[in-house]
Structures are given as C-alpha cells and as structure tokens.
Structure 1
Amino acid sequence: MFTSHFSMTTQPFSERINTSLIMKDERFTQGLARLQYLLHSGSIAVLYGQTGVGKSTLLKLFLSQIPQNLFLPIYLHFTHLKSSSLLSLIVSPAR
C-alpha cells in the first residue's frame, strides 16, 4: 500500500535487501574493515548493539562481499537466546 503511495518500486523493509542499495557511511566502512580483519585472522565475531543501528544490515553487506567458496558463514539471528544455546548453535555442524 505505501509503496504505491510513495512511488516505490520495491519493498523497503524486506529481509532480503539488495546490498548494492545500502548507503555505506563511515560506520559501515569501519565495521566492514573490522569484520574483514576478524575473518582473515580466523576469529569468531559477535556483533551487538541497540535496536535499529544497522547490525543486520552490516552483516548482510559483509556476507555479500566474502567469497562463498572459501568461507562458511553462519548467521544466527536470535534476540533472546541463552548463552549455552548460542554456543550449541555455533559448534553444531552446518546444515
């Protein structure tokens, strides 16, 4: 309904965002650089912050830039999860 009202061609709040449409500011540039460093050092990263600051968008952008044939990223999007359950998900085999 609002897409036609505002003359939009796509749904702006889709979970499957086109990463080429993301406006990359200094926060994203810095966040991507840190994630790239962690990736190449073989580390595990945890990204957390206030609601709406762009955590999911940053991760989607990062995942779109890494070679899928070299890495197996696991994206867990759970807001209310006990730490023991999170660790179980991390160490379980990828499906």
Structure 2
Amino acid sequence: MLVIRELPIEAITIYPSNSFDGMEILFRVSNHNYQFLIGNSKNPFPINVKHVFKEKAICPFCQKKILPVPLGQQLCIAFQKNQSALLQYFQEEYPDAF
C-alpha cells in the first residue's frame, strides 16, 4: 500500500477538464508522470489515475511495463487502490484549486 504523504510528488498542474465536469491533475513521482481524473467539480470524487510516460519504462509502484503516450495511458493499479488518499492529499495541499 502506498503512503501518499511520503511520496515525493512534484510538478503538479491542476486544471478544469475540457472533456467532463471535473478536474485533471498532472503530477510526477520518481521521474514518472501521472494523470489523475477527478469527477464533479462541486463534490469531487476520484475517477482514475493513468500513467503518462514519455518513453517505455516500468512503473515503480505497480510494476507494469508502460509504453510511451498515447499507448501508455494505462491505469496505475497502485494509485487506483489509493485514489481516495491521493484526492485528499491534493485537496489539503491545494485547497484553492478545489
């Protein structure tokens, strides 16, 4: 199980989605990029967390071999299991974005 608060999360970009009512959060951990989709901008809930890798690599969290974007936008099972804690982290650390 991941302990979200102990991860070196960086390069965070939070913005309203153009595709649905909600938000998208781009972030990097251990030199790997991820996209976190949040539904409903008034009562946010986690949808999914995808890998957004620029080159083929192994995800350090779920151990999947990930291909470069766009093929590499697969769900990260490790973050999926902890997406409620991830949402809570972003809401507490970046309350103005919510």
TM (norm. structure 2) is: 0.29
Specify which structure has the higher proportion of helix: 1
Q: Which has the larger radius of gyration?
A: 1
